[in-house]
Amino acid sequence: MKAISCQELSWKYSGRKRFAVENVNLDIEENTFVSIVGPNEHGKTTLVSCIKGLIPANYHGIWYGKVEIFGEDNRNITGQKMASEVGYVFADPESQFTSMTVEEELVFGLENIGLPFQVVHDRLEWVSEITLIKELWDKSPYEISGGQKQRVAIASVLAMKPRIMILDEPTSMLDPIGKDSIFDIMTNVKNETKMTIIVVEHNIEQIAPLSDQILLMYEGQIAKMAPPEEFFNNSDFLVDHGILPPQATAFVDRLKQDGFYDGVLPVDYEGGVKATRQVLQRHTA
């Protein structure tokens, strides 16, 4: 089933000359992991805001087209239903905090949707494990590290068990160790749930191996959308659109262009080693 369908979707912020998102047609199947990449100011945040319904609800502008969430026009979905269907994690985690302790922060949304005590308890245990925040429960969400804040923000959205989870640059404000832990969490969520996950991310190296599909936003339009092996198959096109492929991909693509390799392009280190082995075997035989 389609989790998300955008049909000829366009949005122009009021006062702007150009459309930030222009004539986007996009289908995302449920239980897939889609990463959105592209240079700054090319419409990534605007697109995910339209999917979540933050646009047009909270902004002035011009909207054309339609977004469907599991077949339903998202402008007809109530706020409460939207909260449990589509989770949204902002780049700046503090912007979503409302409580004095991490525990309250997690419980808040769950109590709002009226879940029984035992379910709330089980959900808290589950998200705390997946996001490694158990030791933070009684801390203030404002007085923990940046990486911990982002883990709490993800946990509070995950606790709602939305069918779709959107993360807009969840690692952009973190140091390398903090970034790694967010990629670990995204890996856990991908493996343990059937959620449809959409991540806007600049770190191609780390997001590519997790992705079922990579979507390139350029000048408000979808310039390319494909599974990773296919997405990276034209380095020149990507570089022209401000994207650098993962190192392993770029290296093997070079071997391919020089006629040493004709297989599928790898997207991570392990794949790179395998492809390089094939090249060595063939050329030393």
Chain positions contacting ligand ATP, by CB under 6 A: 13, 16, 20, 38, 40-46, 217
Burial class (CB within 10 angstroms; exposed 0-12, middle 13-18, buried 19+) of 199: buried
Of 56 and 263, CB closest to ligand ATP: 56
Supply the DSSP symbol for 38. -
Q: Are 69 and 236 in contact (CB under 8 A)?
A: no
Of 20 and 223, CB closest to ligand ATP: 20
What is the DSSP annotation of 186-243? HHHHHHH---EEEEE-S-HHHHGGG-SEEEEEETTEEEEEE-HHHHTS-HHHHHHTT-
Binding site for Mg ion (CB under 5 A): 44-45
Q: Are 48 and 200 in contact (CB under 8 A)?
A: yes
Of 91 and 279, CB closest to ligand ATP: 91
Q: 165: how many CB neighbours lie within 10 A of its CB?
A: 23
Shortest Å, Cβ 46 to ligand ATP = 3
Shortest Å, Cβ 6 to ligand ATP = 14
Q: 61: how many CB neighbours lie within 10 A of its CB?
A: 16
Of 56 and 146, CB closest to ligand ATP: 56
Shortest Å, Cβ 108 to Mg ion = 26
Q: Which does 55 bind (CB under 5 to 8 A by kind): Mg ion, ligand ATP, none?
A: none
Of 43 and 245, CB closest to ligand ATP: 43
Shortest Å, Cβ 4 to ligand ATP = 17
Shortest Å, Cβ 86 to Mg ion = 17
Q: Which does 43 bind (CB under 5 to 8 A by kind): ligand ATP, Mg ion, none?
A: ligand ATP
